[in-house]
Amino acid sequence: MTIEGLADRLGVDPKSVERWITSDRTPHARNAHAAAKILHADAYHLWPRLDERRRSVATPRDELVTCYPTRSVVPLDLWRSLLADAVGSIDMAVANPLFLADAVWDLPGLLADKAAAGVRVRLVGPASGSPATVADVFPSLLSVPGIRLAEHGGLHADVVRADDDLIVTTPVDGMAPVLSPVMHLRRLGPAPLTSGYLTALDHLFATATPVRAPRLRAVVA
């Protein structure tokens, strides 16, 4: 990874990245954690003083990695890369599961592999009777061990969570979801911003109706 390559992926000036290396300069928390994720390293190992500056006083702004004006401009590879890198938890609450099928072409196989590796995988979608439920869009997941599928009638904001990263589509009245703003968040310290979404996810799954694979019945002619 070159200085220019890392700077381009982070959206910062290459000179800033160079200072992080040559001048013992500590980046802002969101840049440090984003860089560490790209480099598959620990941010506090790369910059020990980060703990003094940010870890215990994270602000909502620190947790905002970036914001996209509409869901249509979110890089397609971002959805898959976050899910593929998850090692602990994958939670998805989506009012329209069809966009996930477009954003992550191999989602059923990816989630099955993650569940087999011990990652907690939960997916909640709209209630039965909606144009597209999770069972309609991802029928193969119904029989995959370790994956929890559920339905809920109160979904609003789409939230895709992979460990400490969240992609949140924020609904706007009168606007189609695909045109709504999207935030990429990363949980830091006490999580002043992301904690609300994480609590909401737990509430949704606690109050959702499980979706189970239909049982086959033997029929005698």
Q: What is the pLDDT of residue 216?
A: 45
pTM of the model: 0.72
* Rounded Cα distance, 123 and 20, in Å: 39
* Rounded Cα distance, 121 and 174, in Å: 32
- Give per-residue pLDDT as tens, 141-187: 999 999 999 999 988 889 999 999 999 998 888 887 788 899 999 98
Residues 138, 144, 148, 150, Cα dihedral to 10°: 40
**Kindly report the CA angle at 112 between 95 and 87, in degrees rounded to 5?**
90
Task: At 84, list the tokens.
Answer: 């593929």
Q: What is the pLDDT of residue 37?
A: 84
Q: What average pLDDT does the segment 81-106 reach?
A: 92
Q: What average pLDDT does the segment 196-221 reach?
A: 78
Q: What is the DSSP string of 76-133?
A: HHHHHHHHHH-SSEEEEE-S-THHHHHHSTTHHHHHHHHHHTT-EEEEEEEPTTSSS-
